[in-house]
Structure 1
């Protein structure tokens, strides 16, 4: 089968760092065009208007949306209505209802919709899920601390409504948690720190059922922390480096070989080939619950 043609919409940091290399290295895909107001990829046709792309390039059957979540729904809606398969960078939308609407549109159009969670493709995640299967969880701790100035330099949208704030990285942890636990948990309490004058939190502490807790911080400099530990009556699993290193009862485990974004594009190829969609909204549900239950603290102003 010939490589499927894909268009990246939104040529920003995540597209350049992850999506473009993953597509270039894939035996399944050809990057045929991009849509971006400012960015471009050398040697690839660039469109400034998404409607023009949809009109002039019917040969491109897959749209990979790397835009911030705020405008993503309208682009996804247009693509699905035009009969194109759609990949959604995380989070899949600003709200749960937006993505439910996209699911309906994809089903009506008979095309694939894939809400991607790249951290689920971490090299230790499948091993952790296999270890925890059938076990009784007695507690757990998520510690996700990073530097927003490094990962989102000058990107004001992360602090605007719909940008999720510290839950933008925190949802990566939640995507792993919802993938590996043998039974689901729910948010019971949350405390959220909002910088004075900002619309989304910069730090959070969240408590879940089954004794699981989460601490998020977007102001950590130096070494970054993306760790998770899950305890059971039959031992403990620890995931480090965003799910890419697995330790069970103190012993490091073999890791999968494929990187996160190549794994996502391999998954998308399989979904399109078999006429299926993959839309799991449980990580975004936890964020919505934390925002609903969270006690709000106003903290020092933040500026990039």
Structure 2
């Protein structure tokens, strides 16, 4: 009989998408309780997803013996403390992006996870889109050749009413602007395909929204594999698109433009010649069809817990993305290219918040 893990969900915003992922994995997970300070939204989700218990008391979740996993879907500034408490209470953790507000927090929670023997999985569900998975497979098979250039656009629209939510657009509570909260999936997809970044030069600006944090940013990145990348993010694009384009020695790959499902099919794979195109198409035709997004990430997490392996998204993955954020903020403020990795002697290692940096 398949073991089910029992999940307590904290939050009632992005939590809806998590709950959909758990529902698609109903044979693997039960969600007996949801915790949210917003009672209307919380009870609505309980009714929609058949969750038997609603609470506003987060402290009770850590003390419960019938909970295996704490799923954190709260505003960013609360992520670290909730993750720490959950791990120390003997629970596994799923935590939404952005994971934390510094590279130091990643390293600190790594120590907690190691000491408790529990697993924490950051959320990067975009990497499980079918299009990106196809590219990942071609790279693994050696069919792409050397990497040359990657361009990634995260061009979305966020009107003033979006920032009317109290915690948004503020360094203290959102921890960063569009670079951190919106384009972070772009960082992960870049690292997922190419590995870590080596150096970044960045310009950031707040051009349209009356907020503390940036709403537009442009990054020039050198990857450790020798390729280059150009990343752009704005929250001021009336036509919302996301686009990824990868130029390799033997194939050029381009995503669809859907802003929030950019990693899904149909991606376009253009090989250097007909013979290479046949190899590419044959390899892609052999790929099994799987679920994507949260559903797939949760499924893989389940198997990691049962089999004792690493989660599908690790703290090292989250560290790569937050190193890029840290380096970009540092470059923007200093006017200099910033190398990576970000180590404990870096001035923004402990925090990139302006008042602390």
Superposition TM-score tier, normalisation by shorter sequence:
0.7 to 0.9
Residue of structure 2 in register with 1:33 after alignment = 33
Residue of structure 2 in register with 1:72 after alignment = 79
How is 1:86-101 mapped onto 2 (pairs within 5 angstroms)? 86-101=93-108
Residue of structure 2 in register with 1:204 after alignment = 217
Distance change in 2, residues 1:171/1:67 (3 Å): same
* Residues 160 and 198 in structure 1, CA contact (< 8 A), matched pair in contact too: yes
Residue of structure 1 in register with 2:320 after alignment = 282
1:93 match: secondary structure: coil
Shift of 1:197: 5.9
Q: What is the alpha-carbon root mean square deviation over aligned residues?
A: 2.5
How is 1:1-304 mapped onto 2 (pairs within 5 angstroms)? 1-12=2-13, 14-16=14-16, 18-26=17-25, 27-38=27-38, 39-40=41-42, 41-42=46-47, 43-44=50-51, 45-55=53-63, 57-133=64-140, 134=142, 135-149=145-159, 152=162, 154-161=164-171, 162-167=174-179, 168-181=181-194, 183-195=195-207, 198-209=211-222, 210-222=227-239, 224-240=240-256, 241=258, 242-245=262-265, 246-249=267-270, 256-277=289-310, 278-279=314-315, 280=317, 281-294=319-332
How high is the TM-score relative to the length of structure 1? 0.88
How high is the TM-score relative to the length of structure 2? 0.75
Unaligned runs of 5+ in 2: 272-276, 336-357
Moved more, 269-278 or 280-289: 269-278
Unaligned runs of 5+ in 1: 298-304
Report Cα offsets for 1:130-189 as digits up to 9, x if no partner. 2234421121211111122499563343311153211212111111111112x5433431
1:192 match: secondary structure: strand
Shift of 1:220: 1.8
Partners in 2 of 1:115 and 1:34 — Cα distance?
19
2:104 match: secondary structure: helix
1:23 match: secondary structure: helix
1:176 match: secondary structure: helix
Partners in 2 of 1:151 and 1:272 — Cα distance?
40
1:157 match: secondary structure: coil
Shift of 1:276: 4.1
Partners in 1 of 2:210 and 2:20 — Cα distance?
37
1:31 match: secondary structure: strand
Partners in 1 of 2:161 and 2:5 — Cα distance?
30
* Residues 194 and 201 in structure 1, CA contact (< 8 A), matched pair in contact too: yes
Moved more, 148-157 or 283-292: 148-157
Residue of structure 2 in register with 1:301 after alignment = none
1:52 match: secondary structure: helix
Shift of 1:125: 1.4
Partners in 2 of 1:296 and 1:46 — Cα distance?
48
Shift of 1:19: 0.7
* Residues 197 and 324 in structure 2, CA contact (< 8 A), matched pair in contact too: no
Partners in 1 of 2:193 and 2:101 — Cα distance?
24
